[in-house]
Structure 1
């Protein structure tokens, strides 16, 4: 037992050291900005065809969808017959630190949507938390859209494997202790967010670095690991009102699944959507349990559901993402 633990410790230390000395640096071509408000920008990845507007999470940088040269979901889709646009939320400037979810959805997201009008009605696609924002916008502005795609998007925050509800309630219970930070900074800091996410699956962090220690540093797989890890370590603060809404409302009171979540006073009810919809559910997701995302798919009328044999991040940016997600999403978009 002690020998096994010692081997694991050595592998973990070796993996961390290999990550720190790896020479990979992200180097991708710049993307034109079509619209900007505060630090939020609408980026144009080009392409010919119907528009696709991607909406990422508020707590991670959008680069996961444009990870690295030769392995970018957005740049690949732009070669497949679509005009690809990305709403990059950016770093919350002082004004945005007072934003609620309504400010983001009925404000910046809808104004970014308006900036796409010259290309025709887009399909709105949301990743993780961005999927909930995209869903709320689609319910408010269905006449401006062709469809809705939701990728690893949560809905029932108390669903999942044994203990999922208890973990969600435990996250919500941290909110009072975080209030001094929220008051002082107007936001939930990056370090606090990373700690919360790490608590969802703490053992996986050590496991991934042990596995990295065994990789050839010169391999494409090693470079991809470093690209993803750099992205994970470069988060974004969450506006204080949004932190209260998500931790208390989503994780604590499960307002989404209970149909108590409201944007601009209106209930967010997926069953009211009258647009074609696509729901991708990674089966190995530890951030958004498949049961949570399936609850959303069940409420969307006639949704196309794609189970993906991957995790939350691997689905969008892993080595097999093109075959597992990008191609099926492309085929669904073409079918519209």
Structure 2
């Protein structure tokens, strides 16, 4: 068999060992190992299903809402002094935090001790989370222009008026593209821009997978037409195709954990979030899969927002791109293409993964703390 260069020596050593093995003994050993792993996998899945952990963190106050989209004020959480803080809360530097439209926003507020937003609030900042919710009857007809030039801009208007300050925009994953679109239209109303694991060149490193994702669009067309949205299960299948063996590996590992351990609880919290997905409005699904993934429209300057191309070279705000070095969802080269296009852009590359940068054990030291320092250095006072 042809092997990659770095595996050639190991493959040759394995070939020689197999050549000396008794076929029947080897076959029996493989069968035993398969059965042990399958049993352990089933045990891991059952342990997850019956684990007692449930997320109990209460939502912070809703200070603005339109349709199913809410703006949550983490500056009024107990970690920031609570709602009683009043003027102190409103004087803190506002952060307009924009998550993806696909997964639930509470990955940024996952659980006690692993909440990026509550951690920032406890350090004197005022995170305002855009919780997109689930597409309702109105949102199912939304395009990216409706979300960015409509709903997100109106949320920005509210923050500027209510706080008397220009917020700093923070976008995570797909939310980074939404935040970039907002900055391209309204940078005079923003203080700075932070992009967390934000893709741009969708054909960088893994063009075949991007084209494969786009090729699913015609197959999903009847569903999109009838339902008005891309179902969660189909979105999950696309993510799973990035690493088909990930589910097996993670549940094998979980089966070996002490169910009462904090590590097991953190696993369940994250897995519950992953399984609590959100459908995508049909017009947005067509734009994302067909244009972003298929045509690579963003990197080619052909992503249109309200009829005008989104041009990162025209966004002159101070900008920080946090590009996880171990990201398997957004290849670092994809995010780097956007970072390099921003005139006032800076880049950091922590040794974490796409989700680990927000909830992993190294998130605070490698991402949260440097990000807080960068924000504080650029957060201006009241207008």
Q: TM-score range by the shorter chain?
A: over 0.9
Q: For residues 43 and 325 of structure 2, what CA distance do their matches in structure 1 show?
A: 30
What is the match of residue 50 of structure 1? 93
Partner of 1:218, secondary structure, is coil
- Name stretches of at least 5 consecutive residues in structure 2 with no aligned partner: 1-29, 81-88, 379-383
What is the match of residue 180 of structure 2? 135
Matched, 1:26 2:55: yes
2:202 aligns with one of 142, 154, 157: 157
After the TM superposition, which parts of structure 1 deviate over 4 Å for at least 4 consecutive aligned residues?
A: none
Q: Does structure 2 conserve the Cα–Cα contact (< 8 Å) formed by 1:187 and 1:243?
A: yes
Q: Does structure 2 conserve the Cα–Cα contact (< 8 Å) formed by 1:278 and 1:303?
A: yes
- Name stretches of at least 5 consecutive residues in structure 1 with no aligned partner: none
Is the radius of gyration larger for structure 1 or structure 2? Answer: 2
Cα RMSD for the two superposed structures: 1.0
Matches within 5 A, 1:212-227: 212-227=254-269
Q: Does structure 2 conserve the Cα–Cα contact (< 8 Å) formed by 1:221 and 1:319?
A: no
2:139 aligns with one of 70, 76, 96: 96
Q: Does structure 1 conserve the Cα–Cα contact (< 8 Å) formed by 2:109 and 2:117?
A: yes
What is the match of residue 364 of structure 2? 322
Deviation at 1:5, TM superposition (A): 2.4
Deviation at 1:32, TM superposition (A): 0.4
C-alpha deviations, 1:121-151, integer Å up to 9, x for none? 0000000000000001001001110000000
Q: Does structure 2 conserve the Cα–Cα contact (< 8 Å) formed by 1:51 and 1:82?
A: yes
Deviation at 1:321, TM superposition (A): 1.1
2:272 aligns with one of 211, 230, 244: 230
Q: For residues 34 and 366 of structure 2, what CA distance do their matches in structure 1 show?
A: 35
Q: For residues 312 and 11 of structure 1, what CA distance do their matches in structure 2 show?
A: 27
Matched, 1:105 2:140: no
Residues paired across the two proteins, number: 333
Q: Which has the higher contact order (CA 8 A, sep 6+)?
A: 1
Q: For residues 373 and 244 of structure 2, what CA distance do their matches in structure 1 show?
A: 36
Deviation at 1:240, TM superposition (A): 0.3
Deviates more, 1:203-212 or 1:231-240: 203-212
Deviation at 1:70, TM superposition (A): 2.2
